[in-house]
Chains A and B, each alone.
Chain A
Amino acid sequence: MEDLGEKFFQVVIALAIFAAIIGLIMLLVDRAPKSFRDKATIIGFLAPAAVLLAIGLVGPAVLTAFLAFTDRNGDPNGLDNFVWMFTQPEALVTLRNTVLWVILVPLLSTAVGLAYAVFIDRARGEKGLKALVFMPMAISMVGAGVIWRFMYAYRGAEQEQIGLLNQILVWTGSEPKQFLLDAPENTFFLIAVMIWIQTGFAMVILSAAIKGIPNEIVEAARLDGASAWQQFRNITIPSIRGALIVVITTITIGTLKVFDIVRTMTAGNFETSVIANEMYTQAFRANEPGRGAALALVLFLMVLPIVVYNARQLKMQREIR
C-alpha cells in the first residue's frame, strides 16, 4: 500500500511538471515579440508533440532499422538477417502465412460485412441483427483466441469431446480432427477468428455509408427499372467507394500486425506463425534482436504503401468536396 501511495505521488508530480512546462511554453509564446508571434505560436505548440514523437516513434524506428543489420552481439552483419528471413523454410512459412492473412481477412470480412449490411438494410429488427455481428468486435483478440481454442479443442475418439466443432464431427459420425495442428489448413482456422472479429467492423461502417446514399438516386434507378443487382452494382458500390477503401485498408493494416490470435491459439507452432509473432519470438525469446528488427522492418515496409494509399485517397476526397 505504501508503495502504491508512493507511485501515486510520483504520477501527481509528473503531471504537475508537465503542466508547468506547458504553462511555461505558453507564457514564452505570449511574450514573444509581435513580428515573430505567429511563428512562435506554431513552433511553441507543435514542439512538445514533435519532441515526444521524435523520442517515442522516430528514434526507435531509426534504431530498429540499424538493428536489423546487426547480429546477436550488436556487430554489423550486413544482410545476414534478411538472407535468413528469405531462405529458412520456417521463416518462409511465416511470410507465406502473412500473405494469406493479408489477402483473405480484408477481402472476406469486407465481403461478408457488405453483404450483411445490404441484406439487413431496413429489415425488421435491424438493430438487433447488427448488434449480433458487431459484438465480436468488442472482444479482445486474446479473448477471441481463447474462445476459439475451446471451439477447436480436441480429445481422442475414445474420450469425451470438450470442443464444439469436434463434438459436431463426432455426432455426424466422423473422427475428431486436430484443427489447430493440421497444417496448412490450421492457418485458415485462425484466419476465421480474425474474420469473425472484423466482419462487425466492416458491416457497421458500410451500413452507415449505405444509409448515406441519397434517396433520389435510388428512386431514379428504380424508376428506370434497374434490378436489385444492377442497383447494387451501379448505385451502392460507387456511392460507398470511400467507405469501402477505408474499411479494407484499416482491416489490412490490422491484419498485417496480427499477433494476439496466433500467439494465444498456437504460439506460432504447427506452421501458423506470422511476421509479428515471429518478430517477438526472435527478439525476446531467441535473443536475436537483429532478426526481430529485420522482421519489423519488413512489416513496416509492407504496411507503408497501404498507409500512403489511404492518405492519398482521403486527400483526393477532400479535394473533390
Chain B
Amino acid sequence: MGFVRSKKAVLPLATLSALALTLSACSPGGGSEEGGGGSEAAADCSTYETYGTFDGAEVSVYSTITDLEGERLENSWVDFEECTGIDVVYEGSNEFETQIGVRAQAGNPPDVAIIPQPGLLAAHAKAGYLKPAPAEVEALVDENWSEDWKGYGTVDGTFYAAPMLASVKGYVWYVPSTFEEKGWEVPQTWDEMMTLSQTIADEGTMKPWCAGFEAGEATGWPGTDWVEDAVLRQAGPEVYDQWISHEIPFNDPQIADAFNAVGDIVKNPDYVNGGFGDVRSILSTTVEEGGQPVLDGSCAMHHQATFQAANWPEGTTVAEDGDVWAFITPGEEAGAGAITGGGEFVAAYADREEVSAFQQYMASAEFANNRVQQGAAISANKGLDASLAQNPLDQQSIELLQDENTVFRFDASDLMPGAVGANSFWSGIVEWINGKSTEEVLDSIESSWPSE
C-alpha cells in the first residue's frame, strides 16, 4: 500500500516543482558585459575637466550602430570614461527602430539613444519620453553646428538632441583619367552637367550615365535621391521643406520640374544605361552593380552617395588622382552649395548630471575628432579638424558640411510618412522609369499621402 501513499505526495510535489521552475525562469540572466578595452596610455584629462567627475556613475547608450562601427564609437569615448569616471554602457542593435519604442513605452528607456531618423526623434519628443537638452548642450550646438542641423534636433521650438555623425548624398562618380584624356571638365552647374552629358553621348564611345535602382522591396530608392537633389538645388530649401511637410502637394509643378530635370537624364535613351541596355534596364540592375561600368569605360558618370566607395571592387583607389573620384551634384549656379544627406542625433531620456555631461561630450569637437580619426565617419561639427579624415572623400565631405554657405537638408524620403517615403515614392520611381508620365506618377504618389 506504500504505492498509494507515495501517490498522494506527488501532487503537491509536482505543483511545487512547476512553481519553482516558473520562478527561476523569470529571474533575469547575467548582467550584460561592458565592452571597449582601456586605452594603453593614460589619457590627458585636461580637456575633460569641464565635464566634472562622477565616481561610479553609469550612462546607458542605445543605438543602431553595431559591429566595427560600434567598436569605433565606443573607442571614441574611452578617454571620457577614464577622466570623468562615468561608465558608458553601450548597446547597438539592428532592431533599434522598433525596440526603442517598446522600451520607451514600457518605461524602461536607455539614458541616451542615438537616433538616425528625425521623424522618430520628433515622435518620442511629442510623446514626452525625451528630456529637452541641457543649456550647455544647446550652447555647444549653437557654436558647432549650422542652423539646419540644429533644426533637425528641435521639435516644436524645443531643442532636444545634438547631431552626431553625418553622411553626404548626391555625389557623381567618374574616372578622372578618362575625363582628362577626353578633355571633359567637371561640371560646375546643372546646365553644364547636361551639356557634358550631350558631349559624351555625341562622342559615342560610352553612354554618359549608368544607374541601377534594383534593391528588392526597396527598388527605386536611388531615384528618390536623384529627385531630392534636384528639388533642393532647383526649387530651393524652402520648397524642399514644404514638400516634406506636405504644405505643397507632391504633384506641385515645382516637384514635377525636378522630376523632369532628372528624367532628362535617366529617362533619356541617349544618356542611359551604359553597360546594361536601355532606360528600363535601370530597374533590373542592382544598386551595387549600377556603378561598375564607370570603371570599365562603358559609362562615364554614376550618381550615388558616399557609401558607393564600398561598392567598388577591392583595390580601387578613391582619390582625385586615383581610379575613381566624385564631384557633388552641381546646383543651378556654380558654387551654390546645397547637399542632401543623413545623420544621427543624441537624445536623452534622463536628466541626471552624468547624462548631461555625456551629452555635452557628444556635442563637442573632441568627440568628433576622436571618432573621425578612426576612419569611415564624417561629421558636420565645425570644430572638427578635416585633416583627421582617413580618406580624401571623407575630407571633401567634411569640408562641404562645414562650409558656411552649404545648405544641408536631410534625405526627404526619410522624413516623409512611411506610406510615401518608404513605399509609394519608391514604387512611383519604378513606374516612372518603366514608362509612366511624370504627371501620372506624381498624382498617384500624392493620393497615397496619408490624411491628417
Contacts and interface: CB of A to CB of B under 8 A. Distances in A.
A319 to B, nearest CB: 44
A286 B284 contact: no
B106 interface: no
Given A20-B14, A156-B278, A270-B430, A13 B21 contact: yes
B327 to A, nearest CB: 27
A90 B424 CA distance: 10
B277 interface: yes
Given A6-B29, A13-B25, A155-B276, A88 B284 contact: no
Given A88-B447, A285-B423, A286-B419, A154 B277 contact: yes
B444 interface: yes
A317 interface: no
A8 to B, nearest CB: 12
A29 B424 CA distance: 57
A10 interface: yes
B204 interface: no
A281 B24 contact: no
Nearest to A31: B11
Interface string A261-272: 001000111100
B419 A287 contact: yes
A181 interface: yes
B30 interface: yes
B98 to A, nearest CB: 10
Given A20-B14, A72-B450, A267-B216, A287 B427 contact: no
B22 A17 contact: yes
Nearest to A280: B217
Interface string B29-60: 11000000000000000000000000000000
A158 B213 CA distance: 20
B108 to A, nearest CB: 20
Contacts of A21: 18
A12 to B, nearest CB: 10
B14 A156 contact: no
B275 interface: yes
A17 B219 contact: no
Given A89-B444, A178-B284, A286-B419, A270 B434 contact: yes
Nearest to A2: B30
Interface in B405-452: 417-419, 422-424, 427, 430-431, 434, 444, 447-448, 450, 452
B10 interface: yes
Most B C-beta atoms less than 10 A away, residue of A27, A176, A268, A269: A269
Nearest to A180: B284
B161 to A, nearest CB: 22
A90 B448 CA distance: 10
Contacts of B217: 263, 267-268, 281, 285
A28 B277 CA distance: 73
A159 B277 contact: yes
A272 to B, nearest CB: 11
Contacts of A156: 273, 276-278, 281
B169 interface: no
A57 interface: no
Given A20-B21, A285-B217, A287-B418, A178 B14 contact: no
B6 interface: no
B106 to A, nearest CB: 17
Nearest to B419: A286
A171 to B, nearest CB: 18
A219 to B, nearest CB: 57
A31 to B, nearest CB: 7
Interface in A157-209: 157-159, 176, 178, 180-181
Nearest to A20: B18
A154 B419 contact: no
B94 to A, nearest CB: 15
B219 A269 contact: yes
Contacts of B29: 6
Nearest to B447: A88
Contacts of A17: 18, 21-22, 25
B35 to A, nearest CB: 14
Interface in B240-293: 273, 275-278, 280-281, 283-284
A155 B281 contact: yes
Given A20-B21, A286-B423, A181 B280 contact: yes
Contacts of A158: 277
Interface string A252-281: 000000000001000111100000000001
B277 A155 contact: yes
A154 B216 contact: no
A286 B218 CA distance: 12
Contact of A281 (B17, B275, B423, B431): B423
A16 interface: yes
A24 interface: yes
Interface string B1-30: 000000000110011011001101100011
Interface in B277-334: 277-278, 280-281, 283-284
Contacts of A6: 29-30
A190 B284 CA distance: 16
A14 interface: yes
Contacts of B10: 27
Nearest to A154: B284
B219 to A, nearest CB: 6
B238 to A, nearest CB: 27
B21 A16 contact: yes
Interface string A284-306: 01111000000000000000000
Contacts of A59: none
A282 B284 CA distance: 23
Contacts of B220: 269
A153 interface: yes
Contacts of B14: 20, 23-24, 27
B284 A153 contact: yes
A89 B219 CA distance: 20
Given A24-B18, A27-B14, A286-B422, A159 B284 contact: no
28 contacts: A14-B25, A17-B21, A20-B18, A24-B18, A27-B10, A27-B14, A89-B444, A154-B277, A154-B284, A155-B277, A155-B281, A156-B277, A157-B277, A159-B275, A159-B277, A263-B217, A267-B218, A267-B219, A269-B219, A269-B220, A270-B430, A281-B423, A282-B419, A282-B423, A285-B418, A286-B418, A287-B419, A287-B422
Given A6-B30, A154-B281, A156-B277, 12 more contacts: A20-B21, A71-B450, A153-B284, A155-B281, A181-B283, A263-B217, A268-B427, A270-B434, A282-B423, A285-B418, A286-B423, A287-B417
Going nearest first, the 8 A-B pairs with the smallest beta carbon separation are A156-B277, A287-B418, A20-B18, A286-B423, A286-B419, A267-B217, A269-B430, A17-B21
